[in-house]
A and B are shown apart, each in its own frame.
Chain A
Amino acid sequence: MRDVYVLGIGQTIFGKHGDLTVNDLGAAAALAAVRDAEISPKAFQTAYCGTIFSPPTPVQSILFRLGVDRIPMVTVENACASGSSAVHLLYRDIALGACDVGIALGVESLSAYNRKVGKGLLAIEGDLQGRLALTMPSFFAKLCNRLMEKRGATIEDICYPSVKNHKAGMTNPYSQYKTEVTVADIMASPMIADPITVLQCCPQSDGAAAVILCSEAYYKKNNRKEHRPPVKVAASVISVSGAEDASFDPLEMEVMIKGARSAYETAGVDPAKDIDVVELHDAFSGEELAAYEMLGLCKRGEGVALARSGAVELGGRIPVNPSGGLLSMGHPLGASGVRVVIEVARQLWGEAGANQVKGARVGMAQMLGGVLTGLESPVVAGIQILKK
Chain B
Amino acid sequence: MSKQVIFYPGALEERDGKLVQVGHKCRDCGKTSYPAVELCPFCSSGHTEKVPLSTVGAVFSYSVTRVPVGPFKPPILGGYIDLPEGTRVFGQIRARVEDVKTGMKVKVETGVIWTEKDGTEVLGYYYVPLQAEEGGAKR
Contacts and interface: CB of A to CB of B under 8 A. Distances in A.
A128 B11 contact: yes
26 contacts: A128-B8, A128-B90, A131-B7, A131-B70, A132-B7, A132-B91, A132-B124, A133-B76, A138-B78, A139-B63, A141-B63, A141-B65, A142-B63, A145-B102, A149-B102, A190-B66, A193-B63, A194-B64, A243-B42, A245-B88, A246-B60, A246-B86, A246-B87, A247-B86, A250-B61, A373-B90
Interface string B59-85: 011111111111010001011101100
Interface string B112-136: 0100000000001000000000000
Q: How large is the interface on B (under 10, 10 to 19, 20 to 34, 35 or more residues)?
A: 35 or more
Contact of A120 (B33, B69, B91): B69
A41 B42 CA distance: 45
Interface of A: 120-121, 123, 128-129, 131-135, 137-139, 141-142, 145-146, 149, 190-194, 242-248, 250, 373-375
Nearest to A371: B90
A134 B77 CA distance: 10
A246 B63 contact: no
**Which of B34, B63, B66 has the largest count of A CB atoms less than 10 A from its CB?**
B63
A248 B88 CA distance: 9
A142 B100 CA distance: 13
4 closest Cβ contacts across the A-B interface?
Answer: A141-B63, A243-B41, A246-B82, A133-B69
Nearest to A137: B65
Contacts of A141: 63-65
B94 interface: no
A133 B66 contact: no
Given A120-B70, A128-B35, A246-B87, 18 more contacts: A131-B124, A132-B7, A133-B69, A133-B76, A133-B92, A137-B65, A138-B63, A138-B78, A142-B62, A145-B62, A193-B65, A194-B64, A243-B31, A245-B88, A246-B82, A246-B86, A246-B88, A375-B41
B95 interface: no
Contacts of B65: 121, 133, 135, 137-138, 141, 192-193
A191 B124 CA distance: 27
Nearest to B10: A128
Contacts of B86: 245-247
A376 B68 CA distance: 25
A330 B65 CA distance: 22
A206 B5 CA distance: 37
Contacts of A133: 65, 69-70, 72, 76, 78, 92
* Interface-central residue, A132, A138, A250, A375, by most chain B CB under 10 Å: A132
A243 B33 contact: yes
Contacts of A120: 68-70
B137 interface: no
Given A149-B102, A191-B66, A373 B78 contact: no
Which of A120, A121, A142, A246 is the most central at the interface, judged by chain B CB atoms within 10 Å of its CB?
A246
A176 to B, nearest CB: 21
A198 to B, nearest CB: 10
